[in-house]
Homo-oligomer: A and B are copies of this chain.
């Protein structure tokens, strides 16, 4: 088994079973049904920069990320884009489009060398008709995406660029070993993170510089040290 085809497609049973059984999508689902879904799925390896699907195409099923990451992005006029979501390991997307048999509303691009599993529509729909638990999982995951997006709307509507950046950095902050500071490792390059925040790379650069000048953060490449987290959070209130 474990055949790795030239284009990176495969049906490695172990790999697929391992990946699927760890997904929130399959939490609580009977093992034999997970195995069956895995048997109907296939894996795909993608190089950084690969366009998986374009807007208006049909997804070949629900997509689960094994390792690496992808971005889901809306096209703006002029090659510009707005990133809706980064999808990392053990996350899935495409539940809603598969369920409703709709075209994909976003472009999907690998941000790093990435492995995904493709769970075909018939497998998803069959399982939904078989197991309440799975149907419920689908509903919950779609519901979470929905509420997440409402939150995005909220912040795009009531916060300006600095505030969105501050909120974003705050949400990614992790303890910085020993020091009295926090650290953020951006999940993509600055241009892409800018698109995630809904600004251009130029604006992003200026916003980072502004926070740096105010002494709130220090930037080096993709690493950002939060020097004064309290004051950063303060930006959101005032």
B residues in contact with A99, CB < 8 Å: 139-140, 143
Check A82 against B132 for contact (C-beta < 8 Å): no
Interface check A158, CB cutoff 8 A: yes
Q: Chain A 89-113, CB within 8 Å of chain B: the 1/0 string?
A: 0000001110110100110000000
Q: Chain A 133-157, CB within 8 Å of chain B: the 1/0 string?
A: 0011011101111110111111011
Interface check A76, CB cutoff 8 A: yes
Complex Cα distance A44/B106, Å? 39
| A contact patch SS | helix
Check A153 against B84 for contact (C-beta < 8 Å): yes
Q: Which among B82, B97, B139, B154 is the interface contact of A142 at CB below 8 angstroms?
A: B139
Check B95 against A157 for contact (C-beta < 8 Å): no
Complex Cα distance A145/B146, Å? 7
User: Interface residue count for A (Cβ, 8 Å)?
Assistant: 38
Q: Which among B82, B129, B132, B146 is the interface contact of A96 at CB below 8 angstroms?
A: B146
B residues in contact with A145, CB < 8 Å: 146
Check B143 against A136 for contact (C-beta < 8 Å): no
Known A100-B140, A140-B99; contact A198-B151, beta-carbon cutoff 8 A: no
CB<8 Å pairs between A and B, sample of 22: A74-B153, A74-B157, A77-B158, A82-B157, A95-B143, A96-B143, A96-B144, A96-B147, A100-B143, A105-B147, A105-B151, A128-B135, A128-B136, A128-B139, A135-B135, A135-B136, A138-B139, A139-B142, A149-B150, A149-B153, A152-B153, A156-B156
B residues in contact with A96, CB < 8 Å: 142-144, 146-147
Interface check A27, CB cutoff 8 A: no
Complex Cα distance A184/B169, Å? 44
Complex Cα distance A96/B136, Å? 11
Complex Cα distance A25/B115, Å? 37
B residues in contact with A147, CB < 8 Å: 96-97, 100, 102, 105
Interface check A185, CB cutoff 8 A: no
